[in-house]
Amino acid sequence: MPPASPALAAEITEIAAGLGAAPATISPKYFYDAEGSVLFERITRLPEYYLTRTERAIMQAHGEEIGRQVGRGATVIELGAGNCEKARRLCALIEPGCFVAVDISADFLHQAVDGLRDAFPALDVRAVVADLLGELALPDDIPADRRLVFYPGSSIGNFDPPAALALLGRMRALLAADGALLIGVDLVKDVAVLEAAYDDAAGVTAAFNLNVLTHLNRLLGADFDLVQWRHRALFNREKSRIEMHLEAYADTLVTWPGGSRHFRRGERIHTENSYKYRIADFAHLLELAGFASCSCWTDPGHAFAVLLARP
């Protein structure tokens, strides 16, 4: 095997430490290889996965008011921009002067911003490759005034509250006094609805969760046998979060170069948390991060909320 790059070596060390921990964990960032990204797109169109379409409906229903509050000509900074699909709808609503797409995946990002430039030829479109967990530094020539940080999809829910607070603080640091944050947040609701959204009848979320093992087999040279593992998605009421796990059907030994772990039947690997908020609790988190005021819109069933927060 050729020697791993320092970045890959660090990932391998992180993954091996997670597999060795009690309970075992795999970071959700490893969901998103090429296959995982395709599966996630499919999840967003599932009947049980209400988040994406509900957020879209809120943005459509209240687009005029959001546009009025933000005003034309702002600089939109979308964090985790992905395929820039949501950006297109937002740009049509608020007509920004500049759009900055920030994402960790360079290849995907450059393709997506090219599409956005074609759709909005007059818009100044930039791409910034950055990890949201690191320092969020933008190039100096990006306008500093009237910035709108856009973080849709309830991705904030994939961070534990202290990490969510720290990320909101980094977003706040990107803004001058006239800036704002537009963020989508999934809300606490009936457990059956929540669990179905993360364990759909067609098995797409199960395939998404299991795919992380295929990714690890490739990345780490591990020998996970996927038929030995099942997808579990459970709402943890106390922590107000959906937890995704992979559970061993039988005693199984997993090995990789330099390590191994024996899993007992029923033992789980924790792969993701997706926190569900009450609006008041999320508004409090925003306040702690330095946002002084916010407007909030929700759907008639109060499944999801879109908040516009200002310093």
Query: Using CB under 6 A as the criterion, what x/- string covers residues 263-282 for binding ligand AVI?
Result: ---------x-x--------
Q: Which of 51, 56, 118, 66 is nearest to 309 (CA)?
A: 66
- With contacts defined by CB under 6 A, how many residues of the chain interact with ligand AVI? 11
Collapsing DSSP states into helix, strand and coil, what is residue 295? strand
205 near ligand AVI, rule: CB under 6 A: yes
Residue in the structure block whose two tokens are 């508004």: 283
DSSP of 93-128: HH--SEEEEEES-HHHHHHHHHHHHHH-TTSEEEEE
CA nearest 184: which of 29, 80, 68? 80
Question: Taking contact as CB under 6 A, which single stretch among the options 100-108, 153-161, 162-170, 290-298 is the one that binds ligand AVI?
Answer: 153-161
**DSSP letter, residue 187:** B
By three-state DSSP, how is residue 20 classified?
A: helix
Chosen residue from 198, 235, 256, 304 binding ligand AVI by CB under 6 A: 198
Residue nearest to ligand AVI as judged by C-beta position: 274
The residue among 228 and 274 lying less far from ligand AVI, judged by its C-beta, is 274
Taking contact as CB under 6 A, which single stretch among the options 62-70, 98-106, 112-120, 150-158 is the one that binds ligand AVI? 150-158
Residue from 54, 75, 158, 298 binding ligand AVI (CB under 6 A) = 158
Among residues 74 and 84, whose Cβ is nearest to ligand AVI? 84
Footprint of ligand AVI on 42-81 (CB under 6 A) = 43, 51
Q: Are 85 and 108 in contact (CB under 8 A)?
A: no
Pick the closer one to ligand AVI by CB: 123 or 285.
Answer: 285
> CB 218 → ligand AVI: shortest distance, Å?
20
Residue written as token pair 């879109």: 306
Residue 157 interacting with ligand AVI (CB under 6 A): yes
Shortest CB 205 distance to ligand AVI, Å: 5
CB of 247 to ligand AVI, least distance (A): 16
**Does the footprint of ligand AVI cover residue 153 (CB under 6 A)?**
yes
3-state secondary structure of 23: coil
**Which residue's structure tokens are 């290849």?**
107
C-beta of residue 65 within 8 angstroms of C-beta of residue 309? no
Q: Is 170 helix (H, G, I), strand (E, B) or coil?
A: helix
Torsions phi, psi for 234 (to 5 deg): -135, 140
CA-based angle 92:95:97, to the nearest 5? 140
In the complex, the smallest distance separating the C-beta of residue 233 from ligand AVI, rounded to whole angstroms, is: 8
What does the binding site for ligand AVI look like in residue numbers (CB under 6 A)?
Answer: 43, 51, 153-155, 157-158, 198, 205, 272, 274
